Amino acid sequence: MLTLLRELADYEKLLDKFFIDEEVIRRDYLSTQPLCNADLAFEGDAPVGIASWYWKYASFAAKRVIYLEDLFVRPAFRGKGYGKTLLAHLAKTAVDEGGGIVDWSVLDWNKPSIDFYDSLGARPVEGWLVYRLEGDAAKALARG
């Protein structure tokens, strides 16, 4: 898991924001009450892809929603259906739990991923922008 997530951070040019280590994996993914989930794809014994995700709630729709935090398939294994299989598994999980919704974000420059998502019938959520409060701004707001 750690290696795949690191490779994703490198692909997305976000290694400067990558702070995950083995302890974080144990604490946040593998504990008795994990904060998030991870599904892995293998070709034989070789790990080739990962989907990390967690549940959120759409209050107006009154439905559980899966938020896909990370989806990554190693470049040598792309085009073999691993990404589609990982997303299909998440869609089935969401449908089986009564939600039927899977949300995620994609970097605006990542055309191969955007094209892949479009090919599955996924669409951008119109009218919404993703915001983040972090760092000094979060600390300042927390202080009041």
Domain map (residue ranges) of the chain: 2-143
Catalytic residue ranges: 117
Closest to 55 in 3D by CA, of 45, 63, 64, 46? 64
Q: What is the pLDDT of residue 73?
A: 98
Q: What is the pLDDT of residue 99?
A: 86
Count of residues for the chain? 144
Q: CATH code for 2-143?
A: 3.40.630.30
Average pLDDT over residues 8-28: 97
